[in-house]
């Protein structure tokens, strides 16, 4: 089949990453860290994941008119993501994420949203029809609600970070993706629609539900963990690619789990996102 076209409506950041032996407790200063910067943002990460895993991808978002914008978009541009839907904001800066990572790969993240926070419904309205649309909540809810109007057979939302949204938006979704914290926040509202709900459970793997009933489950793949930043976004992009390609639900979950596993074996969010070839080779080894 031809590659599915996926519209990603979401955030674009530059990640500023400090890697240290441990993460600081409140009020504590940790020294001796190494520093790096990478393109990031949930929307951009998921767009790059979908692209590297075989989809034709269009990104809808906002950046500032500053030096960080070029760095934030560098890998999307290099991998052939359509950036015609990315608007340069005249006033707000490109979003920045301040990320601390410890030796076990766990992280803490503070996001300064910048231009992401003013993505508008009119920005989104210019997006064309697609085989799938994927959103997150690092952009304003009205922009996500506008994305729900795009002509598509698969409308997906990664409900991160958790925040109140209209019940109708949850019920409109064909796929909701949450982690344990987000699942607790939304509770029963996740299962009121007829779509799928994907729940990621960290080291316990992931589960797919429909109408509150489990339809597929995947244990986590055992891999060396270097950095978990972006692994969830890789999972989201991969799951949407799999479903948009028509994979059976369990196979799509397995595909997404493998992609996320490979993403934690390298540093950085976007640099660590695997290719389709990487994932297929990994799954072949596990067969």
Please state, in angstroms and rounded to a whole number, the distance separating the CA atoms of residues 247 and 242: 5
Please state, in angstroms and rounded to a whole number, the distance separating the CA atoms of residues 222 and 187: 29
* CA-to-CA separations, 98 to 1, 19, 33, 46, in angstroms, rounded: 40, 11, 13, 19
Long-range CB pairs of 203-208 (<8 Å, 24+ gap) are: 205/257, 206/235, 206/253, 206/256, 206/257, 208/249, 208/250, 208/253
Nearest partner of 139 among 268, 5, 269, 13, judged by Cα? 13
Instruction: Please give the positions annotated as active site.
Output: 233
Burial class (CB in 10 A: 0-12, 13-18, 19+), 122: exposed
What sign has the CA pseudo-torsion 115, 198, 266, 20? positive
């Amino acid at each position: 089949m031809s590659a599915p076209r996926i519209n990603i409506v979401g955030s674009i950041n530059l990640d500023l990453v400090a890697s240290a032996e441990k993460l600081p407790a409140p009020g504590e200063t940790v020294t001796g860290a190494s520093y790096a910067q990478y393109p990031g943002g949930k929307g951009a990460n998921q767009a790059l994941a979908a692209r590297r895993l075989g989809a034709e991808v269009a990104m809808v978002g906002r950046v500032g008119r500053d030096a960080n914008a070029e760095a934030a978009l560098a890998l999307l541009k290099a991998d052939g993501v359509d950036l015609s839907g990315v608007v340069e904001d005249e006033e707000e800066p490109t979003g920045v994420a301040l990320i601390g990572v410890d030796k076990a790969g766990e992280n803490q993240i503070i996001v300064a949203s910048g231009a992401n926070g003013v993505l508008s419904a009119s920005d989104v309205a210019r997006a064309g029809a697609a085989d799938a649309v994927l959103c997150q909540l690092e952009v304003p809810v009205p922009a996500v609600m506008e994305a729900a109007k795009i002509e598509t057979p698969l409308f997906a939302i990664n409900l991160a970070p958790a925040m109140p949204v209209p019940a109708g938006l949850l019920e409109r979704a064909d796929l909701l993706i949450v982690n344990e914290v987000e699942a607790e926040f939304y509770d029963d509202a996740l299962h009121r629609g007829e779509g799928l709900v994907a729940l990621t459970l960290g080291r316990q793997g992931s589960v797919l539900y429909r109408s509150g009933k489990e339809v597929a489950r995947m244990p986590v793949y055992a891999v060396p963990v270097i950095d978990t930043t972006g692994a969830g976004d890789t999972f989201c992009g991969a799951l949407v690619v799999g479903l948009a390609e028509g994979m059976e639900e369990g196979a799509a979950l397995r595909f997404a789990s493998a992609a996320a596993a490979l993403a934690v074996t390298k540093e950085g969010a976007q640099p660590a996102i695997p290719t389709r070839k990487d994932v297929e080779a990994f799954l072949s080894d596990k067969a």
